[in-house]
A and B are shown apart, each in its own frame.
Chain A
Amino acid sequence: QVPLQESGPGLVKPSETLSLTCSVSGGSIRSRNYWSWIRQPPGKGLEWIGYIYYSGRTNYNPSLKSRVTISVDTSKNQFSLKLSSVTAADTAVYYCARVDTAMGWEFDYWGQGTLVTVSS
């Protein structure tokens, strides 16, 4: 098992920056895996945000790229998400997940998710 746990504010004001952290326990973030963020607006489907490798290599969804930064802190076994200039459309459950690069780059472990509401 590679438990993942998201943490961060549940409420963010419009135009501000959403910040979340994913803590990885039960395994090192310094592995062959990549680490990803995925979100799900209430009642809707899943949207991939981006991923990071422990070296700092990143890749983002082009639709969000201008507003997203994913970073990693190997000393804390954590990775983080920052999404700037948020609007109500960014209200969603945000999941962190592990990418299993040994197979087909699927998401094999997920955090429980954290709801972030954008509202004044």
Chain B
Amino acid sequence: EVVLTQSPGTLSLSPGERATLSCRASQSVGSSYLAWYQQKPGQAPRLLIYGASSRATGIPDRFSGSGSGTDFTLTISRLEPEDFAVYYCQQYGSSLYTFGQGTKLEIK
């Protein structure tokens, strides 16, 4: 099983700042099979990024994904008030899915 470790656990930033979230895998992940989700309280997760770097439909271009192998990054270029939420990475490999434990992005 591929274990995904996200860091930091909590990130405190102000609107307008840049956010960088990390997702590290215990073994190599195919780039096509790495996704990022945003979850707000009381809501289902929303797909942001698939294939490590492709934005899902309707996702603003301030969200970007990068990385390969075991290290992946989600970057939010300029934080908007609605971006404060929990973010999860997810991988699919050997017909199994795993999620990272999440990074909480909070307002400083």
Residue A95 is within 8 A (CB to CB) of chain B in the complex: yes
The closest CB in chain A to the CB of B36 belongs to A106
Q: Tally B residues with Cβ within 8 Å of A.
A: 27
In the assembled complex, how far is the CB of residue B19 from the closest CB belonging to chain A, in whole angstroms? 19
Q: Which of A45, A104, A108, A111 contacts B101 (CB 8 A)?
A: A45
Q: Is the pair B33, A95 in contact by a Cβ cutoff of 8 Å?
A: no
The residues of A that contact B1 with a CB separation of less than 8 Å are 62
A-binding residues in B (CB < 8 A): 1, 30, 32-35, 37, 43-47, 50-51, 54, 56, 88, 90, 92, 95-102
State A62–B43 Cα separation when bound (angstroms).
Answer: 27
A45 to B99, CA, bound (A): 8
**Using a CB–CB distance below 8 Å, which chain A residues touch chain B?**
36, 45-48, 59, 61-62, 95, 100, 103-108, 110-113
Pick from B33, B35, B98, B100: contact of A107, CB under 8 Å: B35
Whether A100 lies near B50 (C-beta < 8 A) is yes
In the bound complex, residues from chain B placing their C-beta under 8 Å from that of A113 are 44
Please determine whether A108 and B88 come into contact, CB atoms closer than 8 angstroms: no
Chain B residues with Cβ below 8 Å from A110 are 44-46
Q: How far is the CA of A47 from the CA of B56 in the complex (A)?
A: 22
**A105 in contact with B92 (CB, 8 Å):** yes
